[in-house]
Structure 1
Amino acid sequence: MQRAIRILVLVLIVGLGALWGVAWFGRQPGESPGDSFLRQVASLTGRQQAPAGPQVGMQLPAGVTLGGPFQMQNQDGRTVTQADFNGQLVVGYFGFTYCPDVCPTELGSIASALDMLTPEQVARVTPMLVTVDPERDTPAQLKSYVSNFHPRMVGLTGTPEQVADMAKRFRVYYAKVTRPEMSEYLMDHSSFIYIIGEGGRVRALLRPQSSPEDIAAAIRALLPQA
């Protein structure tokens, strides 16, 4: 009997170890090993989370939520919270103004997606850049930057602690990168697009490099419930 229990325990340990290995190597961009593990478990048990309303974007594992309350500064230097965007569907992206390629590409896709909507739909959508580089991205810097993409685009910054807290709520990865050959540091960061509804909660999560057509379709699907 004891031998059977030991064998069973060993099988469980080996199985969990294998699952952790799959989770580690099968992580999506910006996904933590823990979240990847939960996603693998959910896929094995069939307990995928059923989001409210239309199923758009990536499906989150059961019990995993993104977003929530935040307090930041907008590009005009005014303190804002998630409540300031109630009634709007926010299309959010975490990046920084000194980003050489990925950020302008993703923000350009978001702006192009808004151009595919009707004026009535656009009036209910707020595109948003949340900086992960508060050291350089002042409100004035953000204001100059976001105006290049769309007149409705909002930029958010704050203290390092405020940025870290918001990034944690949205499970955003970011880190400063410096190299001897670089005159300025860069920021390594995840690159998901977040569609955010009431209370700052994420309604849909879109993969990096989503096309403007896919972003526009996700917005249209969620607008009636925004």
Structure 2
Amino acid sequence: TTKIPFKLNQNQALLTFEDEEVAQRLIKMGKHTLNLDRKTTDVKVTPFTLGMGVKFELHVTISGKKINVSEVPELSIPDDWVRDKLELNFYKSEHGGGGEVENVKYDKKSRTAVITFLRPGATDGFARCTKYPFYVNGRCYRLPVSPSTDVHLEKLQLFSGISKKTILLKGITETEDDEESVQDMIEIHFQKPSNGGGETERIKYVSKGATWVCFEE
């Protein structure tokens, strides 16, 4: 289900009716006079239009041959030597390594590396391992490791929507009543057939500030 946000501003209300014919009839009428706490207020009824939205499918593939390594210690040796030490360290089975290494990409600036193993499924041993021992120069460092993932988007779509069952009320006069009481009075008014209304599904009124509401496509 796609959720589309909409910003509801101060002194506005959204009403969704069970029957879209009711909403369309109220929109054609344009203006309505409400009785709120012994005061009358003219409100404008407008169609409810959602802004532009984006819908897509996110696919994540976990590699069985690559792992990401971070926090590689800064060593006073050439980068090639660091790559060799990483390869030897992750090859050794006594440390729970993944086996024969095909390639090591090491970035000194970010202190990260990507280890690619020769055998598919070699990274399975790291699934529950968040820290892996790295032995160098007589010291042991615990390096964070994580599976390498490939993320890509599919079925990207741009859309905008109009809810034919929902109306937007603007220009509601502020009263001394609390927000919920005013909301009830608005709902009662628009439920009456004599006012051109009908059965409502939901309503949201904002007296101060603004709020975000979500609609499901």
Rg larger for: 2
More helix by share: 1
Greater share of strand = 2
Q: Taking structure 2 as the reference length, what is the TM-score of the superposition?
A: 0.20
What TM-score comes out, normalization by structure 1 length? 0.19
